[in-house]
Structure 1
Amino acid sequence: MKLLIGYVSMSGNTEDIAKLLKDTCEQMGHEVVIAELDGLSVTELRDYDGVLLGAYTWGDGDLPYEAEDFVDDLETTTLSGLPCAAFGSGDTDYPKYCAAVDTIEAALLASGGNIITPGLKIEFDPHTDEQKEACIAFAKAFVSPLLLT
């Protein structure tokens, strides 16, 4: 299956998550395209069998500005049951930890996307074994149902 992993990263944390997800999906036999959200059009999402979208959370639970237009466009498109999920990085010192993940997930649902697994939220970057395992488990939970179709 052909999967898209689209993301926005400022410090590299969300990019590191995206790369772990890509590696896991490829190890499970999927073709994976990875791209930054500001270089994608929401209409391109329908070219894939599954989509993972990620962003870091900025300020008080906000989307990064690089993702705002994409997510706004996402809410006005139709994904017609496309398998998808959201991921991102954040900082638990802020009251709205990883709220960008929730915002992306809500936009995917509003566009008719089929959320395969709950959003993945990682504190900063996936540097601990536990965080890396959470990323791997998230990727596996996403692709496992796709293998049945």
Structure 2
Amino acid sequence: MSKILLLYTSVTGNTEEIAVAIADMLQKYDHTISIKTFDMDAIDVEEIKEYDALLVGTYSWDDGAMPYEVEDFYDELEDADISGKLVGVFGSGDTFYTTFGGAIDLLGQRFEELGADVMEDWIKVDLEPDTKDFKRCQKLVDNLNTKLKEGV
């Protein structure tokens, strides 16, 4: 059984809906899942070491900007040793803007730069998640479970 930290922020409820779906999907694999939100829970990047995997969700402001409640975490990641840590990123955005889901990209790139083992499918949802998006979430969860079982 692996320990997974699911960390997210949501302003409209769309990213929260994705996070809840992912948490529900993880339940069938009997992992220990801790769910925290950027706006309600104190997040210490050193805490990441306690987990086998990290799933981070965010929305994007306007033209792909990072939400203010994620900024400190993003900056503090530089001080944490996350090399080899299994990480997945997800969130919502709006294709109306030139940069769709830019905050998701920023997080994924930051984790890669710091040597984390970032899952390939960065889930970006246009506003509200639909059936296709939940299938992508299930694929992420299945791939995460496989990697955890393999010890990768």
TM-score between both structures, scaled by the size of structure 1: 0.93
Query: Does the 8 Å contact 1:50/1:83 carry over to 2?
Result: yes
Matched residue count: 148
Q: Distance in 1 between matches of 2:112 and 2:51?
A: 17
- Over 3 Å counting, the alpha-carbon distance change for 1:118 and 1:34 in structure 2 is same
2:103 maps to a residue whose letter is A
2:139 maps to a residue whose letter is A
- The equivalent position to 2:47 in structure 1, one of 44, 47, 56, is 44
Query: Does the 8 Å contact 1:75/1:108 carry over to 2?
Result: no
Runs of 5+ unmatched residues, structure 2: none
1:134 maps to a residue whose letter is R
- The corresponding residue for 1:66 is 69
- The corresponding residue for 1:54 is 57
- The equivalent position to 1:79 in structure 2, one of 78, 82, 89, is 82
Q: Encode CA deviations 1:9-51: one digit per residue, 9 max, x unaligned.
A: 1111111111111111111221111101242111111110000
Shift of 1:76: 3.0
Q: Encode CA deviations 1:27-81: one digit per residue, 9 max, x unaligned.
A: 1221111101242111111110000111000011111011011111113321121
TM-score between both structures, scaled by the size of structure 2: 0.91
- The corresponding residue for 1:143 is 145
